Structure 1
Amino acid sequence: MNGHEPVYERGSVRLANFKKSLPDDLEVTVLDPATNDYVPFMLTCGRALKCGEVLPERADLALDEKGRLRSQAEFEQAYSVFLDAFVYVEGSDTGFEPVPNVVEFVRQTPDTFSESSGMIEIGFDPKLDEEFKPQRRYGPDGQSEEEYQQEQADRTDIASALKSIAETQALLAAQLNQVQSAPPVVQEQAVEPVLGMTAEEAKTATADNDHTQAPCGKKVRAGYVKQHQRFCDADECGGDSENAGKGDT
């Protein structure tokens, strides 16, 4: 075989003069014309391509010893040598064989999702655009869907009860504040009947609470003593008022 390695499953071969061994986890890089630096080769799925994902016979032709993607011109030269290694029917000209684009060539892999014998891009997911439908749901702490929903319902009930208690406490506090800020109500105290006092005497005693005694000895309504004195002719009340005797109450 002269150092060549057939790849029977894909009908290809690894030529001895191109064979190389690259670390599987080494990222494939490509020259960025804007910065003239090598940057990671990004797949359509959004991640960097690894050397271990590239088909070995394609990595031999498309990558250099550092995992860097060859230019299209360099790749075409290597691909031409690769084609010349095969035996063709008399009269065939490999110069008419189309040369793949090196970018497409390095990121393709056999289609394992269908019965097609074609190639698809590495990282392709045929279900990427489909709605994800989990077969079983679990809570953040490993609960089953039923357990998680019950916990959520219990928490809702507790939160509702706490809210009701808080609202009741706020209402009671407002009512208490209202009562404390209201002016005090002065209630007239009735004279409690003494044992043996008749109903009429109790009534009279209660009525006396509304009166007071003037200096002359007369009962007048509470708060009207000075008014009584202006009209009273008794010496105790002044006695010299011009209106004496006209305003007894």
Structure 2
Amino acid sequence: MNNVIETILNHRSIRSFEDQLLTAEQIEAIVESAQAASTSSYIQAYSIIGVTDKEIKKKLAEIAGNQSYVENNGHFFVFCADLYRHTVAGEMEDQSVDTSLESTEKFMVGLIDAALAAQNAAIAAESMGLGICYIGGIRNNLNEVTELLKTPERVIPLFGLAVGVPKKSSSKKPRLPMKHIYHENTYEQNQELYREQLESYNDTISNYYSERTAGKRNDTWTGQMVGMLDKKSRLYMKEFVESKKMNLR
């Protein structure tokens, strides 16, 4: 096993950071690593906004559910799906590309490109001994987020990435077993096997929480997921995305 794989496998979310800002060199290395990620047809359909303004970070923390580590970290990055520059490219070439930019396919390209870039950034940060935490909570109110960050049409903030020097590490959370995630040739649809794998994983997660909380918590993964999915959160998203002239076709 090499150092890159060790870094990847050692990942855990960090939610407590030292009061120490990232250096310009660290930020540059993280962004350049993000840009080195694969991108569909060279379209590079994403942008990254580094948030250093204390008031903006404070407001983003409130939007994300009062998560203190959105405000208190070494640097906060916001990853956006971005087709705005492609609108400009069409204007520069005197050709309308609206039909393509409004398609579900190009919307998906923006999401995928941004996610690939962000994961490169996360691995780069962790390889430097920094901790990271993805922040999906900014999607609680994207109307306000777009106002704060002044993002134009066809740019959608997707998630944040808090990065910094870890103050306190967390334990590594067990993932689903590989045999449940990885299928060969066709998707495994044996319901009995599927349930057995999930029951086994439920035991693993329940024991993990019990050990971590000295017996105060022992919920299962399936129970956790159903509880989360039952809340029906962020149902405004389809309307919001369409208002940005994306995912219309």
TM interval, shorter chain, is: under 0.3
Structure 1-normalised TM-score?
Answer: 0.17
Determine which structure has the larger helix proportion and give its number: 2
Higher relative contact order (CA 8 A, sep 6+): 2
TM-score by length of 2: 0.17
Bigger-Rg structure (1/2): 1
